[in-house]
């Protein structure tokens, strides 16, 4: 897909992800968590248990409590240090206006701050810090501050597909660092009109008074590309298995 086509498809690519959802899908888990953390620092500190519980359930909804995760063996209060770390900088990161970030030093500075926050979130888990992946740390920030996409399998696959289609080299763009984040900030600015249109449509669908933040929209766009790619690959594999089975059965027919 060219950059021009990306712009034309951005709104529908984002909106279709939640368009046909029901009332109790996992998308609501992100909404509940993000809305909870819109409260004041003082109010959240008075309600740390439900803050941790909202975060834990959102993370579970989005695959962070699978069998191999250390979180599976912990209760929801394992997130308490991370929540407290988030609260230290909540007001700053939630108020970043990505439409006004300018290319250059301002962009690199904010990208560096967010990349630094990833490291701080990992450290907040103490002895488990080495088990906190970029995927987990970025999902925590997406669910609470909304200032970074979740670098999970589908997002990275979608970003890779986008870069391939635009004939751009990866050069560190598929991992969390200042360069990758700056690229995503630039993508948002270039597609701001379309993502704003998606934001308005999502608000009507969700009937929520908490608008989706810029990086959540960017997350949904690339995640959607990766998800559709995975479905197509699974479909092709299934078709291939059918053909192999047919060929096998055909070869065993006696004439």
Mean pLDDT of 32-43: 96
Q: Over the stretch 214-239, which tens digit does the pLDDT of each residue have?
A: 999 999 999 999 998 998 888 877 66
Write down the domain spans for the chain. Answer: 3-251
Is a pLDDT exceeding 60 seen at residue 252?
no
DSSP 69-116: -GGGGS-GGGGHHHHHHHHHHHHHHHT--TTSPPTTHHHHHHHHHHHH
Q: What Cα–Cα distance (Å) separates residue 232 from each residue in 28, 227, 229, 242?
A: 26, 9, 5, 15
Q: Over the stretch 163-219, which tens digit does the pLDDT of each residue have?
A: 999 999 999 999 999 999 999 999 999 988 888 788 888 888 877 778 899 999 999
Q: What is the pTM of this model?
A: 0.87
Of 186, 157, 152, residue with least CA distance to 7: 186
Is a pLDDT exceeding 80 seen at residue 160?
yes
Greatest alpha-carbon pair distance for the chain in Å reads 81
Q: Are 121 and 132 in contact (CB under 8 A)?
A: yes
Q: Are 143 and 63 in contact (CB under 8 A)?
A: no
Say which range, 20-24, 27-31, 95-99, 193-197, has the weakest mean pLDDT: 20-24
Mean pLDDT of 57-78: 95
The rounded Cα 206 to chain-centroid distance in angstroms is: 18
- The residue that leads in pLDDT, 142 or 10, is 142
Residue 9: band (very low, low, confident or very high) from pLDDT cuts 50, 70, 90:
low
Q: How confident is the model at residue 1, as a pLDDT?
A: 38
Q: Are 77 and 49 in contact (CB under 8 A)?
A: yes
Q: How confident is the model at residue 5, as a pLDDT?
A: 46
The H or E element spanning position 165 is helix 153-165
Mean pLDDT of the chain: 88
Q: How confident is the model at residue 13, as a pLDDT?
A: 74
Question: In sequence order, what are the residues at sequence separation of 6 or more whose Cβ sits closer than 8 angstroms to the Cβ of residue 98?
Answer: 185, 188, 189, 214, 215
C-beta neighbour count of 111 within 10 angstroms: 22
Instruction: Please compute, for residue 228, the number of CA atoms within 13 A of its CA located in the half-sphere on the CB side.
Output: 14
The rounded percent of the chain whose pLDDT value lies above 90 is: 65
């Amino acid at each position: 897909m060219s950059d021009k086509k990306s712009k034309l498809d951005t709104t529908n690519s984002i909106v279709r992800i939640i368009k046909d959802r029901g009332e109790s899908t996992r998308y609501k888990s992100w909404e509940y968590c993000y809305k909870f953390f819109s409260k004041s620092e003082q109010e959240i500190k008075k309600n740390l248990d439900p803050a941790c519980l909202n975060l834990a359930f959102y993370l579970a909804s989005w695959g962070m409590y699978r069998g191999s995760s250390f979180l599976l063996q912990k209760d929801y209060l394992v997130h308490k240090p991370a929540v407290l770390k988030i609260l230290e900088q909540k007001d700053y990161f939630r108020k970043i206006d990505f439409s006004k970030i300018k290319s250059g030093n301002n962009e690199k500075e904010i990208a560096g701050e967010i990349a630094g926050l990833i490291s701080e979130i990992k450290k907040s888990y103490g002895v488990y810090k080495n088990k906190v992946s970029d995927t987990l740390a970025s999902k925590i920030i997406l669910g609470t501050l909304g200032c970074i996409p979740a670098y999970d399998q589908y997002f990275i696959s979608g970003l890779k597909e986008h870069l391939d289609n635009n004939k751009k080299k990866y050069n560190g763009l598929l991992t969390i660092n200042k360069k990758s984040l700056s690229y995503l900030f630039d993508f948002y600015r270039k597609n701001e009109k379309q993502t704003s249109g998606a934001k308005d449509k999502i608000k009507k669908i969700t009937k929520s008074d908490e608008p989706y933040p810029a990086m959540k929209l960017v997350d949904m766009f690339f995640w959607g590309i990766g998800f559709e790619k995975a479905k197509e690959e699974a479909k092709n594999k299934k078709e291939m298995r059918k053909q192999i089975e047919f060929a096998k059965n055909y070869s065993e027919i006696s004439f």
